Amino acid sequence: MTAKPRLTPAPPPGELIDSPRFPVAARRELGNTAQRRNLRLATHTIRDKRANAVGEMENWEQLREAGGAIKNRVLRHLPEYLEQLEESLTRNGATVHWARDAAEANRIVIALVQETGSQEVVKVKSMATQEIDLNEALEESGIAAWETDLAELIVQLGHDRPSHILVPAIHRNRSEVREIFLEEMGRYGTPAPPGLDDNPTNLANAARGHLREKFLRAKVAISGANFAVADTGSLVVVESEGNGRMCLTLPETLISVVGIEKVLPSFDDLEVFMQLLPRSSTAERMNPYTSVWSGASEGDGPQNVHVVLVDNGRTNALADPHGRQALRCIRCSACMNICPVFEKVGGHAYGSVYPGPIGAILNPQIRGTDSAVDRSLPFASSLCGACTEVCPVQIPIAELLVHMRGKVVDAKKAESKGVHMPHAEPAMMKAGGWVMGDHRRLEAAQLAAKAGGGVLGRFTDHIGPLPWPLSKWTNTRDVPNPPTKTFRDWWNVNRADQVEK
Amino acid sequence: MSAKSEIMDRIRSALTDVPDVRAADDVEVVWRYGQPVQLPEGNVLEVFIERVEDYHATVVSCVADDLPDAIAAGLKATGATTAVLPAGLDRDWLSAASGVEFTTEDAGPLSADELNTLDAVVTASAVSVAETGTIVLDHSPDQGRRALTLVPDRHVCVVRSGQVVSGVPEAVARLRGAVEAGRPLTWISGPSATSDIELSRVEGVHGPRQLYVILVREGN
């Protein structure tokens, strides 16, 4: 059996949902020294830039507060805003489609492209279309999808997967990009200029040359949207390179795939989000280009305009009154850029198009907790809380990580259905509770620990690796020796006389 | 059941904890819309110039009478010998630009390939934002359809001082009418750029690689 020849570069084999548990994937990624160096450089650069961009704004906290509140209002009253959005878009000449899940969204898009007779589409960078794996669905239907964002192009030509929602090729350095361009561009269109070096300006120019012919001939474009405005029936795309404008302007047909949580009540609300988003994501006062369009505009741009509103698990997240806060996310990537875990392991370890802290709470909510990777994600954090502080819409990410850990434990318990499956942490907590519940038991335990500490202290200042099952804790952490004196002993010697009788 | 009714049902059953009250009464948004922003230093026009220049765009100022000379100088500075003009652009603005061949769409729209052969575009603009150095086109007749300001590699853009506001909120308030009238918007902050390779900023990818802004100081 011979495989059908591919139209576009093949991504790595396998489905993201079948990714290994986070600790296993993290160990694999940590072995990639070049990637670790690239990530460290990139995340530290953007962190500092973001701090400056945000530091300029005296009313940043009020903006975050307002952004969070607007999104809460939308989520809690989603039916009325979605109805209004559909009505306004339709009035503006767009056709609105609804998709329960990824498969349905893909079927809708494929049928719309087939109606045009076109066998290729140009794509604006979009998380929603990555989430539903649209490119591969199009490929299977004989339609070539060309990514046009520079980083997405690097990922696509590199037979790779994105590792970051804003800078999908953040794990690649300039010399790797050069090699990919020289090797692959010619197979799918205009080749890279011979003698291309690894200067980022020249690499960007090679992308300009490669994509221009695709932009000029494209009949169909596919985009996502950063915001969908209910009262005016407008979609908004925030970008930097102008590839978005090319796709949104030149083709005859435009299909936008938009998650149902992207609605904003009013055009006026853009004043809040257009201040929050650019400074949080690319750390600029404003991104180079933002496009706003309201259906079809006579004599200007695509006249065949479609919007596909996608659920694909979002209503699962919405059903959890606490967890639904994660749906406020505007995909800025500030949480992954600040995250000490993401910085080391990169985005591929998270087994989803949404990596980092937001992915760790969003994926198990929208995909559920059935897969090994989704069960492991809420634990992919040290709970340091840096993500919560930078989130422009005040998602309490650290708190939701703990919340989702609870849900994973509950799901496992429900599965074991009465069969007693002890888990180390709850068992230890239970034992601790028993000891601390009675002062005599506590004193006895302290006496034992004191004796142990006295002995150990002669050899070492900490406890290293212990045998199983304690190894699960000590393999990644040192434990200090038990003190040779309890707090009660210390109190009796130093402060007993101060106690008012 | 249609996909829409099923999704709506899912949403309603997900939100049973939400009281049946108006959205605005359920969640308060503490924010005053459309307010000017406090600029750190200088007046609105000075901040606008500084912030546009921060993006490595060129900004020159002139008085209204000198605009034709400024446009001629701008086209020359960007190295353009051909340019496309929006239908509604005041043709007097181009009276000083000798040596540049102008194309219009009077005889029908140009194809993307035809636009790709032209060096530059000259347009007016709708609203500008000092704090962020942003110019917004609402694609009125003096700015043309979106493709005109996208495909040619050089954009000479005229901003009248009365169109410059302090911050994003005032700009959004001013733009509402154009959006309600169905017009698209393009917000431009410097030339096209990318930070996709090692987060090092490169100016000039697909959009115009040169942005030349002429600020016309009106009245006093």
User: Quick one: tokens of A451?
Assistant: 């004796």
Query: No. of H helices and E strands in chain B?
Result: 6, 12
**C-alpha to C-alpha distance for B37 and B52, rounded to whole angstroms:** 17
For residue B121, the cross-strand partners are B84, B155
**What's the rounded mean pLDDT across residues B176-180?**
98
For residue A98, the cross-strand partners are A309
User: Quick check: B107 contacting A, CB < 8 Å?
Assistant: no
User: Quick check: B141 contacting A, CB < 8 Å?
Assistant: no
Are the CB atoms for B142 and B94 separated by under 8 Å?
no
User: Quick check: B154 contacting A, CB < 8 Å?
Assistant: no
A246 inside domain: yes
pLDDT band of A500, cuts 50, 70, 90: low
On chain A, the residues whose CB falls within 8 A of the CB of B3 are: 97-100, 104
pLDDT band of A421, cuts 50, 70, 90: low
Output the domain CATH number for residue A86: 3.40.50.10420
Of B2, B30, B194, the CB nearest to A150: B194
- 8 Å CB contact of A243 and B204: no
Q: What is the pLDDT of residue B220?
A: 52
Of B51, B150, B204, the CB nearest to A245: B150
Higher pLDDT, A483 or A92: A92
Q: What is the pLDDT of residue A125?
A: 95
On chain B, the residues whose CB falls within 8 A of the CB of A176 are: none
Q: Does residue A433 share a domain with residue A302?
A: no
- 8 Å CB contact of A289 and B189: yes
Q: What is the pLDDT of residue B199?
A: 80
Output the domain CATH number for residue B79: 3.40.50.10420
Q: What is the pLDDT of residue A475?
A: 75
**C-alpha to C-alpha distance for B206 and A2, rounded to whole angstroms:** 38
Domain count, chain B: 1
- Please list, in sequence order, all residues whose beta carbon lies within 8 angstroms of the beta carbon of residue A219, skipping any fewer than 6 positions away: A116, A118, A251, A252, A253
Give the 3-state secondary structure of residue B13: helix
**C-alpha to C-alpha distance for B140 and B88, rounded to whole angstroms:** 8
DSSP A101-142: SHHHHHHHHHHHHHHHT-SEEEE---HHHHHTTHHHHHHHTT
Torsion of CA A32, A37, A43, A47, to 10 degrees: 150
On chain B, the residues whose CB falls within 8 A of the CB of A309 are: 7
Whether the per-residue pLDDT at A301 is higher than 70: the answer is yes
CA Rg, chain A, in Å? 26
pLDDT band of A498, cuts 50, 70, 90: confident
The residue assigned the tokens 């900490």 is A462
User: Quick one: tokens of A406?
Assistant: 């609870």
A221 inside domain: yes
Contacting A residues, span 148-207, partner chain B, CB-CB under 8 Å: 148-151, 154, 167, 169-170, 172-174, 177, 200-201, 203-205, 207
CA of B168: how far to CAs of A38, A53, A265, A272, in Å?
Answer: 34, 15, 18, 8
Q: Does residue A284 share a domain with residue A139?
A: yes
Strands annotated E in B27-91: 58-63, 82-84
**C-alpha to C-alpha distance for A71 and A326, rounded to whole angstroms:** 10
- 8 Å CB contact of B184 and A243: no
- Alpha helices per DSSP H over A351-438: 356-366, 372-376, 386-390, 397-416, 424-436
On chain B, the residues whose CB falls within 8 A of the CB of A45 are: 199
Q: What is the pLDDT of residue A442?
A: 81
**C-alpha to C-alpha distance for A482 and A465, rounded to whole angstroms:** 15
**What's the rounded mean pLDDT across residues A416-425?**
64
Which domain covers residue A432, as residue numbers?
Answer: 425-489
User: Quick one: tokens of A34?
Assistant: 């070049």
User: Quick one: tokens of A175?
Assistant: 């010399």
Which domain covers residue B194, as residue numbers?
Answer: 3-217
Domain count, chain A: 2
- Residues in chain B, overall count: 220
- 8 Å CB contact of A79 and B180: no
- Chain centroid, CA B201 distance in Å: 21
- Give the closest residue to A185 by CA, choosing from A209, A161, A157, A204: A157
The model's pLDDT over B87-132, given as tens digits with 9 standing for 90+, comes to: 999 999 999 999 999 999 999 999 999 999 999 999 999 999 999 9
For residue B58, the cross-strand partners are B212
**What's the rounded mean pLDDT across residues B75-84?**
98
Give percent of chain A with pLDDT exceeding 70.
96
Report the gap between the CA of A175 and the closest CA in chain B (Å): 10
Looking at every residue in chain A, the average pLDDT score rounds to: 93
Give the 3-state secondary structure of residue B112: helix
Torsion of CA B167, B170, B171, B177, to 10 degrees: 170
CA of B103: how far to CAs of A58, B77, B92, B183, in Å?
Answer: 47, 19, 15, 23
Are the CB atoms for B110 and B133 separated by under 8 Å?
no
Single residue among A291, A312, A333 that ends a domain in this structure? A312
**C-alpha to C-alpha distance for A347 and A171, rounded to whole angstroms:** 8
A497 inside domain: no
Whether the per-residue pLDDT at A398 is higher than 80: the answer is yes
DSSP tag of A297: B
Element (H, E) at A181: helix A174-188
On chain A, the residues whose CB falls within 8 A of the CB of B190 are: 288
Strands annotated E in B74-144: 82-84, 101-103, 120-123, 127-129, 134-137
Of B7, B12, B112, the CB nearest to A311: B7
- 8 Å CB contact of B205 and A285: no
The model's pLDDT over A428-474, given as tens digits with 9 standing for 90+, comes to: 777 777 888 888 888 888 888 777 767 777 777 777 777 777 777 77
Single residue among A312, A332, A350 that ends a domain in this structure? A312
The model's pLDDT over A23-71, given as tens digits with 9 standing for 90+, comes to: 999 999 999 999 999 999 999 999 999 999 999 999 999 999 999 999 9
Whether the per-residue pLDDT at A196 is higher than 90: the answer is yes
- Give the closest residue to A240 by CA, choosing from A148, A143, A317: A148
- 8 Å CB contact of A73 and B182: no
Q: How many CA atoms lie within 13 A of A473 on its CB side?
A: 11
Q: What is the pLDDT of residue A96?
A: 98
Single residue among A312, A345, A379 that ends a domain in this structure? A312
CA of B203: how far to CAs of A19, A245, B191, B198, in Å?
Answer: 37, 16, 6, 14
User: Quick check: A60 contacting B, CB < 8 Å?
Assistant: no
User: Quick one: tokens of A19?
Assistant: 């990714």
Main-chain dihedrals φ then ψ at residue B53, nearest 5 degrees: -65, -30
- 8 Å CB contact of A290 and B187: yes
> How buried is residue A358: exposed, middle or buried, by Cβ count under 10 Å (0-12/13-18/19+)?
buried
**C-alpha to C-alpha distance for A186 and B141, rounded to whole angstroms:** 40
CA of A433: how far to CAs of A437, A438, A489, B82, in Å?
Answer: 6, 9, 22, 81
